[in-house]
Amino acid sequence: MNDMPTPSRTGFSSMLATLAAAGSDFKISLPADWLQGRTAYGGLSAALCLQGGLRAFPELPPLRSAQVAFIGPATGELTISPRMLRQGKSAAFVAVDLVGDAGLAVRATLCFGAGRELPHQHSGHAMPTTPPRETCPDVFNWSDRPNFMAHFDGRLAGGSLPLSAGPSPEMLVWLRHRDPQVRGDLVSLMALADALPPIAYAVLESGVPLSTMTWAVDMLAPQIDNPQGWWLLRGQAETLCEGYSAQTAVIWHPDGSPVMAMRQHVAIFAKR
């Protein structure tokens, strides 16, 4: 059972319900407990772009991929502006800009596509075996973690904990929203998929400022539905060089089916 939101914590579902239509755009002001410093964290910004696109164009086929560029801080009242780039018989491309007080913050390109029958099926992502979830240590356990991480529960099933100076930059983590009203749909999964710190944190000893620059998401399943709330994420940092880290991740449904593959480029700064 998910934890109930505390009075000082705004549940994801309650926060998302405040997204209001403003002509062809949408507007939202985020509570402080959903911020990373002064700005919305990357996964939430991407989830808001996705929600805006789905609300503007409700008849779209399933999401197949998303490319997201984090251009500036998403601060103050946020405006989400979706527009249809092209819609064909089976595919549609939607562009979404998220603008805050400091100007353009996020630009997302969302690709939607209808399914079709093929003679063969293949998946190269077998779900890893994990210890019992209840025996796994808490991931979000350091004192100066960003505010938004209080909304998530994470259990380390493999690799190293963040800021543990582990031997390699790898994490295998069970993740869920703490909000009991979240039912494991696509928008909530987009927000959850970026809940962890950079995978490079597994080899670091102390926290440093960071900023995701770009995020590419490929959907591996046409529909997302997970009432259990838990998802398994395996992340690996391929490089950590000159203040940047390139990382990949895959997310599985508890039934073992892969649902999302991701590539992310993160700027990691020297400690202030």
Question: Tens of pLDDT along 158-199?
Answer: 999 999 999 999 999 999 999 999 988 999 999 999 999 999
Other Cβ atoms less than 10 A from the Cβ of 152: the count is 20
Q: Does residue 123 lie in a domain region?
A: no
Closest residue by Cα to residue 50 from 177, 184, 175, 188: 188
Closest residue by Cα to residue 190 from 68, 24, 31: 68
Beta-bridge partners for 63: 112
Q: Does residue 3 lie in a domain region?
A: no
Beta-bridge partners for 120: none
Number of domains observed in the structure of the chain = 1
> In the predicted model, what is the mean pLDDT of the chain?
93
Q: How far apart are CA 92 and CA 265, in angstroms?
A: 26
Q: Does residue 172 lie in a domain region?
A: yes
Q: Does residue 122 lie in a domain region?
A: no
Q: Does residue 6 lie in a domain region?
A: no
Question: Tens of pLDDT along 195-252?
Answer: 999 999 999 988 888 889 999 999 999 889 898 889 999 999 999 999 999 999 999 9
Query: Among residues of the chain, what percentage have pLDDT more than 90?
Result: 82
Q: Cβ(237)–Cβ(169) under 8 Å?
A: yes
C-alpha torsion sign, points 35, 40, 41, 45: positive
φ, ψ for residue 261 (rounded to 5)? -125, 140
pLDDT given at position 4:
45
Q: How far apart are CA 80 and CA 98, in angstroms?
A: 5
pLDDT given at position 271:
66
Global confidence as pTM: 0.94
Interacting residues of 43 by C-beta distance below 8 A, sequence separation 6+: 190, 191, 192, 193, 194, 195
Other Cβ atoms less than 10 A from the Cβ of 130: the count is 18
CATH of the domain at 199: 2.40.160.210
Local confidence band at 119 (pLDDT 50, 70, 90 cut-offs): confident
Q: Does residue 195 lie in a domain region?
A: yes
Q: Does residue 98 lie in a domain region?
A: yes
Q: 3-class DSSP state for residue 234?
A: strand
Q: Does residue 145 lie in a domain region?
A: yes
Look at residue 68 and tell me whether its pLDDT is greater than 70: yes
Over residues 66-92, the mean pLDDT reads: 96
Q: Cβ(268)–Cβ(213) under 8 Å?
A: no
Look at residue 37 and tell me whether its pLDDT is greater than 50: yes
pLDDT given at position 123:
80
Query: Among residues of the chain, what percentage have pLDDT more than 70?
Result: 97
Q: Domain range spanning residue 137?
A: 12-114+133-268
Q: Long-range contacts: 87-96, Cβ < 8 Å, 24+?
A: 89/114, 90/61, 90/114, 90/116, 91/61, 91/64, 92/57, 92/60, 92/61, 94/53, 94/56, 94/57, 94/60, 96/49, 96/50, 96/52, 96/53
Q: 3-class DSSP state for residue 212?
A: strand
